[in-house]
């Protein structure tokens, strides 16, 4: 991602949104519902004599056109393989459109509810679903989209934070020392894991991006799709004590390996990837802080307590990265 402050959507008015969609000869009925998104701007809009559509306006200067189109092609490949994913709508063989300086895409509206992870068989079902995604993701690499690695999610964002004025002066050197220790711990985790394959991922598999219907799960929002280790799409589904997380991972892998082989060495990366996400997340909010939507959504950010909590969090992760991985063998 680009760590540069901007106010990207200042001119994105309701009239402009409707005019952009009307420019594709889709006749909207004027209704517009804001959906929960900060990185981009996403809306549900009514269409005359048809089901509502979802329109996504991409954050300017984040992705190049070829990177967005590569994401679209990946999701289209999943849909063509009958994997429940929501591809961008094609109009005249195009999925990415421009209007008044903004790039946008359209999607069919898909509902769903949060999965009940404690229900018998749900984690195994999710594992099968992710395994199917990875079986397609491993066929070929992205040519334009980035990698999830220590540099992009650890070194670059931490350097951005330390060079900014977000971290209070009295905590800056403490943060510098702790993040250096954390990066060293991440490096050692990668060394223990050894060589692992990088494949095309969803990249942001938290429960908010997983919707459940009577037909099973489907993921939405492939905006963070990138190259990375397979375990990145699994660890965010884990919660609770180490023993609970071990049992959850066992259930996920039980379904996952029906469709794709999992390299158990990647389990060494779970706490490293968690640490990278924590570092990256703080920098992501900081870089977007001039966007009014972020000030509204993240009111707790950029306080003395916030940065004290981040320092404590990183110290806890330094300890966690020294613990054995969740599963020592494939007995699941």
Active site residues: 204, 221
User: Rounded to whole angstroms, what are the CA distances from 162 to 21, 167, 288, 312?
Assistant: 41, 7, 16, 17
Contact indicator for 58, 98 with CB cutoff of 8 Å:
no
Length of the chain measured in residues: 332
3-state secondary structure the chain: CCCCCCCCCCCCCHHHHHHHHHCCCCCEEEEEEECCCCCCEEEEEEECCEEEEEEEECCCCCCCHHHHHHHHHHHHHHHHCCCCECCCCCECCECCEEECCEEEEEEECCCCECCCCCCCCHHHHHHHHHHHHHHHHCCCCCCCCCECCHHHHHHHHHHHHHHCCCCCHHHHHHHHHHHHHHHHHHHHHHHHHCCCCCEECCCCCCHHHEEEECCEEEECCCCCCCEECHHHHCHHHCCCCHHHHHHHHHHHHHHHCCCCCCCHHHHHHHHHHHHHHHHHHHHHHHHCCCCHHHHHHCCCCCCHHHHHHHHHHHHHHHHHCCCCCCCCCCCC
Q: Count Cα neighbours of 62 within 13 Å in the Cβ-side half-sphere.
A: 21
Contact indicator for 20, 11 with CB cutoff of 8 Å:
no
């Amino acid at each position: 991602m680009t760590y540069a402050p901007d106010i990207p959507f200042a001119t994105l008015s309701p009239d402009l949104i409707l005019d952009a969609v009307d420019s594709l000869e889709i006749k909207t009925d004027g209704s517009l519902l804001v959906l929960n998104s900060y990185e981009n701007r996403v809306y549900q809009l009514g269409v005359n004599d048809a089901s509502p559509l979802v329109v996504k306006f991409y954050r300017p200067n984040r992705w190049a056109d070829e990177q967005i189109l590569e994401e679209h092609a990946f999701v289209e490949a999943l849909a063509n393989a009958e994997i429940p994913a929501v591809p961008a709508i094609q109009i005249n063989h195009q999925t990415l459109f421009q209007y008044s300086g903004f790039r946008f895409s359209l999607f069919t509206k898909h509902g769903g509810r949060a999965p009940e992870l404690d229900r018998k068989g749900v984690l195994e079902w999710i594992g099968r679903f992710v395994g199917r995604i990875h079986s397609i993701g491993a066929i070929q690499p992205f040519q334009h989209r980035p990698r999830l690695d220590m540099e992009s999610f650890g070194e670059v964002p931490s350097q951005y934070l330390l060079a900014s004025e977000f971290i209070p002066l009295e905590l800056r050197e403490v943060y510098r020392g702790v993040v250096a220790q954390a990066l060293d711990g991440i490096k050692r985790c990668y060394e223990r894991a050894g060589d692992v394959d990088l494949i095309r991922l969803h990249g942001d598999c938290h429960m908010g991006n997983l919707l459940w219907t009577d037909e099973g799960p489907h993921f939405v929002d492939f905006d963070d799709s990138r190259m990375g280790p397979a375990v990145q799409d699994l660890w965010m589904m884990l919660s609770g004590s180490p023993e609970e997380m071990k049992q959850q991972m066992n259930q996920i892998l039980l379904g996952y390996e029906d469709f794709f082989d999992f390299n158990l060495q990647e389990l060494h990366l779970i706490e490293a990837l968690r640490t990278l996400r924590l570092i990256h997340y703080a920098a992501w909010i900081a870089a977007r802080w001039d966007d009014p939507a972020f000030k509204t959504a993240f009111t707790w950010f950029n306080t003395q307590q916030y940065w004290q909590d981040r320092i404590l969090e990183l110290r806890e992760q330094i300890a966690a990265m020294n613990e054995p991985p969740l599963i020592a063998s494939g007995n699941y």
